[in-house]
Structure 1
């Protein structure tokens, strides 16, 4: 549980806007501390991020709040699947994890499932590990299965030979790939030509790849705030290349160097925005 000040920092939504969304649209219902301060859980933060993304896309706030409410209804079944997956992970039951993932990934469009179920599920998995509720082995088991499923979806997505080229990878020392590969798949499905470099891409390799592919955009991630320093040399290497847009996603994208533009917290919206750029 975090305060409204921390939520504003995590989401980029000002405190006065958060209060307005709560009062006018009932977007979230924070609990109160003993001293009366608003406290927000993971689900509330997720709803705020989705609302922010929709408003950024041009949705009227009232319509955006109604859409979030609709999604929350659909998420009820997803929440049960999430808990079942976490239980299977604790048992290191790979077959059940695979069955749940396969059922979810065929339940709706790739983009909607990734934004509304897969990424929140991976966040829940990480939080469960941080609380000591699952083992490192369990977290790695799920992450490995998810990466295999995303790799298949990426391969199945029609690649474009004429679309705008987008370079995608993690900075040196960063091995969080799930969000990046999910974005790369959505970008392919949006008609972009993707060049996926994967995890821990050396600084020099970023520049070489951007020049060789004549990329128009470079996309990376900031999953942990402490990794912001790792993006600085990447920004320095790429900022001077003409016509190259620098973008960053991830939980702590707001802390990235100024050269990077934040992508927001919807993978589908991010892919669509770059496709339209």
Structure 2
């Protein structure tokens, strides 16, 4: 079937910017899917600009469905080109996600910044941010956290990775905040959390959901948060930690803060599991440990 038969002359065609808005897939990723994997084949204007038909948009949505089920992009074409009734459920464990995670871990352990840069750029070019976080970055960082412990060189590996991600995520937040129209979030760590990896991933996930993210490097004094909320027009505060944190903070100071502020005060990271009993009826909103799920749970809290 030729392109004209698939896309009649009177069928609407959409430029890449509009397709990105409709599907949530950025233009860099759409071009990568086309060039590297042949997943989509838009028409071209005489000047070479891409134009997408409704069938292309439906195909992009099917691609997103497979990616959301954990299928690596390299396997998606074979799946979407099969009739739906004949498409088997994918064995995602046989895909290349594990290989990508091991490559990422190896790059961190080898302190290989060039490889780390390539893996970061590749993952966010080929996949929507939430998929890259859920399938690659969050599980790889969890494996690294388990392996680090008191291992020689672990401190240097963690510091290098944090510095790398702080720069890359910060750049993405800067540009995303200029075009986002969602509520503004303040994301920071709690006092006893000495590392920033958790808050960086959550900030990136929240930005993908359309929020404008103010990311603080250090835990702010609790008595200054009300000032930050007022001056920065914050719609929700998200505090991240992988530590148990002090009992006084968890049982008294944070619940008191939640009472004082007229916006949701949310906790994310392993602290929500560690302190689950203390957080019941505390007035604090718990988002969980997974950054993508945490970001998605903000929606209902901010829609009231």
**TM-score tier (shorter):** 0.5 to 0.7
Counterpart for residue 298 of structure 2: 274
Cα deviation per residue 1:207-253 (whole Å; 9 max; x = unaligned)? 22123334332111121224665445651452223531121110231
1:219–1:160 Cα change, 3 Å:
farther
Counterpart for residue 103 of structure 1: 122
Counterpart for residue 122 of structure 1: 141
Once the 2 structures are TM-superposed, how far is the Cα of residue 113 of structure 1 from its aligned partner? 0.7
Of the structure 1 ranges 70-79 and 148-157, higher mean CA displacement relative to structure 2 is found in: 70-79
Once the 2 structures are TM-superposed, how far is the Cα of residue 71 of structure 1 from its aligned partner? 8.6
Counterpart for residue 27 of structure 2: none
1:197–1:83 Cα change, 3 Å:
same
Partners in 1 of 2:248 and 2:70 — Cα distance? 34
1:82–1:269 Cα change, 3 Å:
closer
Q: Determine if the alignment matches structure 1 residue 243 to structure 2 residue 262.
A: yes
Per the normalisation by structure 1, the TM-score is 0.64
Q: Which structure 1 residue ranges, 4+ long, deviate > 6 Å from structure 2?
A: 68-72
Once the 2 structures are TM-superposed, how far is the Cα of residue 189 of structure 1 from its aligned partner? 3.4
Once the 2 structures are TM-superposed, how far is the Cα of residue 110 of structure 1 from its aligned partner? 0.8
Per the normalisation by structure 2, the TM-score is 0.59
Partners in 1 of 2:236 and 2:185 — Cα distance? 5
Partners in 2 of 1:176 and 1:262 — Cα distance? 20
Counterpart for residue 222 of structure 1: 241
Q: Using CA pairs below 8 Å that are at least 6 residues apart, which structure has the higher relative contact order? A: 1
Once the 2 structures are TM-superposed, how far is the Cα of residue 197 of structure 1 from its aligned partner? 2.5
Question: Which residue, 159, 164, 180 being the options, matches 2:183?
Answer: 164
Aligned residues of 2:238 and 2:266 also touching (Cα < 8 A): yes
Counterpart for residue 62 of structure 2: none
Counterpart for residue 211 of structure 2: 192
Partners in 1 of 2:124 and 2:246 — Cα distance? 30
Cα deviation per residue 1:238-276 (whole Å; 9 max; x = unaligned)? 222353112111023131643322113443333233234
Of the structure 1 ranges 140-149 and 68-77, higher mean CA displacement relative to structure 2 is found in: 68-77
Q: Cα RMSD (Å) of the superposition?
A: 3.1
Aligned residues of 1:165 and 1:192 also touching (Cα < 8 A): yes
Of the structure 1 ranges 110-119 and 198-207, higher mean CA displacement relative to structure 2 is found in: 198-207
Q: Secondary structure at the match of 1:225?
A: coil
1:273–1:133 Cα change, 3 Å:
same
Partners in 1 of 2:185 and 2:91 — Cα distance? 32
Partners in 2 of 1:170 and 1:178 — Cα distance? 10
- Mark the runs of 5 or more structure 1 residues left unpaired by the alignment: 1-65
Cα deviation per residue 1:105-139 (whole Å; 9 max; x = unaligned)? 22200111112211111111111112627532122
Aligned residues of 2:259 and 2:283 also touching (Cα < 8 A): no
**Max Rg structure:** 2
Aligned residues of 1:166 and 1:216 also touching (Cα < 8 A): yes
Aligned residues of 2:162 and 2:196 also touching (Cα < 8 A): no
